[in-house]
Structure 1
Amino acid sequence: MTELREVTAYAVACARPALEIFDQARPEDQRPRAALDAAQTFAAGAERTKLLRDSAWAAHKAAQETRDAGQAAASDGARAAGHACGAAFLHPLANATQVKHILGSAAHAARALELSGGDAAAHLARCETLAGAVVRDVLSRYPSAPAGGGRVGEYLRQLDISLRNSPDRG
């Protein structure tokens, strides 16, 4: 549980910069903010409850709605928040798709920043520095990030490779 909290705290920190992008597009919609708050509460020691799952699904619903409305950057911002909640549900099966629970919030936030004219590369570099020994150790237990996923998938694999090959590892 301690490792899940560390991974979730990392995912929240990676997702937060994209929340502003969502908030600018949909200031009345609090679902992504609520997801990040729920994930942060879990990371700080609260129990892993249904609220986390519900918050993740709500953030992903907000992402769908903004995508359908042509607000791609906001959609990725909301998806980053949903993935931050999902980090609390990382499971130990060595499956490449589990890497999305660890790095998905960072990859979607980078895409949101890119689509809104921000610096995705700088965000990924920041996410690399935010990854402490526990996050890197947990990541090392899984196969490399899966293929596919478009631009977000590229960011996911880029960060995955960086964290696995970094001399700061462990």
Structure 2
Amino acid sequence: MPTETERIELSEDELREITGYSAECARRVLAVFEKELPADTRPREAIEGAEAFAAGERRTTALRQSAWAAYKAAKEAESPAVAAAAWSASHAAAAAFLHPKASAHQVKHVVGAAAQAALAAELVAGDAPGVAAETLEWARRHAPAAVGAVLGRLPAAPAGGGRVGEFIRDLDTALRA
């Protein structure tokens, strides 16, 4: 297991695969945001930017700005479910900027979109049991090989972070296996 100060190998192809996966996870809960705030396009633009990068376009300042814009949309949302959907979109665009640093914090950049999508789904479902587990299982099954490979080069996800931190640790453990 690498230490926090080491650098890891991280290819552009891996970055694109992780970003595409993150966008796919975020797109699954985009309707949660758009149902509540249909005129706010920031999360959609972040997801579309992530998808474009994953498909081969350049990593641009506009993509980074779209991640920040979705982040701001999450901070402004009044509903926790709507905020989680926007956070997921923000993580999707930010995945393109994963650092080749062996930091446990980087785990959030790899699986943060999936964890926030699970929270959004869980919050929308209310008392329906197993919704988050189903979303996390979908994320586990659809993760490309690059996700597990990069996680294997990073320290394990850190403790804390509430429900999302729990989901991140669950995915981290499952995808390293």
- Normalised TM-score (structure 2): 0.89
Counterpart residue type for residue 149 of structure 1: G
Question: 1:43 pairs with 38, 54, 65, which one?
Answer: 54
Q: Does 2:115 align with 1:110?
A: no
- 1:84-123 superposed matches below 5 A: 84-117=92-125, 119-123=131-135
Report the alpha carbon displacement of residue 17 of structure 1 after superposing the two structures with TM. 1.2
Identity of aligned residues (%): 52
> How far does the alpha carbon of each residue in 1:70-112 deviate from its partner, in whole angstroms, 9 at most, with x for none?
x110000000000001110111110000011100000000000
Aligned residue in 2 for 1:72: 80
Distance across 1 between alignment mates of 2:116 and 2:27? 11
> How far does the alpha carbon of each residue in 1:126-145 deviate from its partner, in whole angstroms, 9 at most, with x for none?
00011122221111110111
Aligned residue in 2 for 1:161: 173
> How far does the alpha carbon of each residue in 1:108-128 deviate from its partner, in whole angstroms, 9 at most, with x for none?
000000000071111100000
Indicate if the aligned counterparts of 2:88 and 2:112 stay in contact, CA closer than 8 A: yes
Counterpart residue type for residue 8 of structure 1: T
Aligned residue in 2 for 1:168: none
Instruction: State the 4+ residue runs in structure 1 displaced beyond 6 angstroms.
Output: none
Q: Which runs of 5+ in 2 are unaligned?
A: 1-11
Distance across 1 between alignment mates of 2:49 and 2:136? 23
Aligned residue in 2 for 1:62: 73
Indicate if the aligned counterparts of 2:149 and 2:176 stay in contact, CA closer than 8 A: no
Q: Does 2:137 align with 1:125?
A: yes
Aligned residue in 1 for 2:18: 7
Aligned residue in 1 for 2:27: 16
The structure whose residues are more often helix, as a share, is: 1
Report the alpha carbon displacement of residue 52 of structure 1 after superposing the two structures with TM. 1.0
Aligned residue in 1 for 2:5: none
Distance across 1 between alignment mates of 2:25 and 2:151? 15
- Normalised TM-score (structure 1): 0.93
Aligned residue in 1 for 2:154: 142
Higher RCO (CA < 8 A, seq sep 6+)? 2
